[in-house]
Amino acid sequence: MRTTVERRNLGPRDVLIEISYAGICHSDIHTVRGEWGSVPYPLTVGHEIVGHVTEVGAEAGKHKVGDRVGVGCMVNSCRDCDNCQAGYEQYCLDGNTGTYASVDRDGTVTQGGYSTHVVVDEDFVLRVPTSIPQEAAAPLLCAGITTYSPLSHWNAGPGKRVAVVGMGGLGHMAVKIAAAMGAEVTVLSQTLSKKADGERFGAAHYYATSDLTTFEALKNSFDLIINTVSAPIDMRSYLGLLRLDGTLVSVGAPPEPLTVPVFALFGNRRSFAGSSIGGIAETQEMLDFCAERGIAPEVEVIDADAVNDAYERVLTSDVRYRFVIDIASLR
């Protein structure tokens, strides 16, 4: 692990951030283990970053020294394509620049938040409301926006029945946010071991998917299903849970391809979709939404030297519900 990112000279619109906390995302593990393709080692991962501004470029005006800020999963985009102009930088037609393991527009490889400092263009730096504890704010920059965006896009709210597949780092945030939006929330988890937590987070119902009667009992039930797991699922069974015009949205990213049976889509005019994080404006909207409603992830704060153990615990679902590194332990 690096103790700091290599500092470049601040560009005119850059912001230097001293990092306080960095969340551990399953994407970090996939990346460092090369499960999503080749990796530009040496690499510092981490895209759930919270800290404060210590220096700004000569032309930077959105943030000032001392501001409490965050950085999520991307740090640049082309700014000019239709998607960027519409505020969907995550879908940049020229490819957004990821917070780590990406080649930025200046040719450098981006380095992430398991570090003491990071330099980011001011347009990709978020304001973190003071009502959200810093350590809890970090996972909102990935887990929060990754679930908020599809819930918002597919209009989760009063009168809508939403199912959340998986009760991990993403899933527990999906439950909290969907419930806060006013939807009737059901958790679909392998076992009932986290049922009390799910109900505390706002779920009205909780079912074990290891019980095959679950899929029969819940046929044609949901307007929206948010699949948060990073492993293959039986698509036919889950698609069968959708009511007329219902949509199953995957936000988890298993390394193996998912097989989608087309005939399962024909019934009830069902849809299968994917969703990737959110644009900068929507991410700020999510942070403000969570601040106004008192929503925050459940976190376990660790020192930097416990990261390897934390990775193994993530893989066995032994965390409730997000590890966050205290970057002070690096200094």
Model confidence over 263-305: pLDDT tens digits? 999 999 999 999 999 999 999 999 999 999 999 999 999 999 9
Tell me the per-residue pLDDT of 203-252, one tens digit each, with 9 for 90 and over.
999 999 999 899 999 999 999 999 999 888 999 999 999 999 999 999 99
Closest CA to 188 of 213, 156, 159: 213
How sure is the predictor about 3, in pLDDT bands with cuts at 50, 70 and 90? very low
pTM summary value: 0.94
What's residue 4's pLDDT? 43
Closest CA to 328 of 142, 124, 135: 135
In this prediction, residues 170-197 reach a mean pLDDT of 98
Statement: 144-274 belongs to CATH 3.40.50.720 = yes
Peptide bond into 42 cis (omega under 30): yes
Distance CA 176, CA 185 (A): 9
Alpha carbon 161 to its chain centroid, in Å, reads: 22
Q: CA angle 278-284-289, nearest 5°?
A: 100
Q: Are strands 126-127 and 68-71 parallel, antiparallel or unpaired?
A: antiparallel
Q: Is the pLDDT at 5 greater than 60, yes or no?
A: no
How sure is the predictor about 132, in pLDDT bands with cuts at 50, 70 and 90? very high
What's residue 1's pLDDT? 28
Give rounded-to-5 percent helix, strand, coil for the chain. Answer: 30, 25, 45
Closest CA to 218 of 180, 194, 246: 246
Peptide bond into 206 cis (omega under 30): no
Each domain of the chain, given as residue ranges in start order, spans 14-142+296-330, 144-274
Residue bearing tokens 């593990």: 29
What's residue 212's pLDDT? 86
What's residue 313's pLDDT? 96
How sure is the predictor about 8, in pLDDT bands with cuts at 50, 70 and 90? low
Tokens for 276, please give them: 């990737």
Distance CA 328, CA 313 (A): 22
Distance CA 144, CA 72 (A): 10
Q: Is the pLDDT at 307 greater than 90, yes or no?
A: yes
How sure is the predictor about 2, in pLDDT bands with cuts at 50, 70 and 90? very low
Q: CA angle 194-195-199, nearest 5°?
A: 120
Residue bearing tokens 């193994």: 312
Tokens for 184, please give them: 């009737």
CB 83, CB 91: distance < 8 Å: yes
In this prediction, residues 43-55 reach a mean pLDDT of 97
What single letter denotes the amino acid at residue 267?
G
Fold of 14-142+296-330: Quinone Oxidoreductase; Chain A, domain 1 (3.90.180)
Helical segments of the chain, H only = 26-32, 82-85, 134-137, 143-153, 169-181, 195-201, 213-217, 235-239, 262-266, 280-293, 307-315
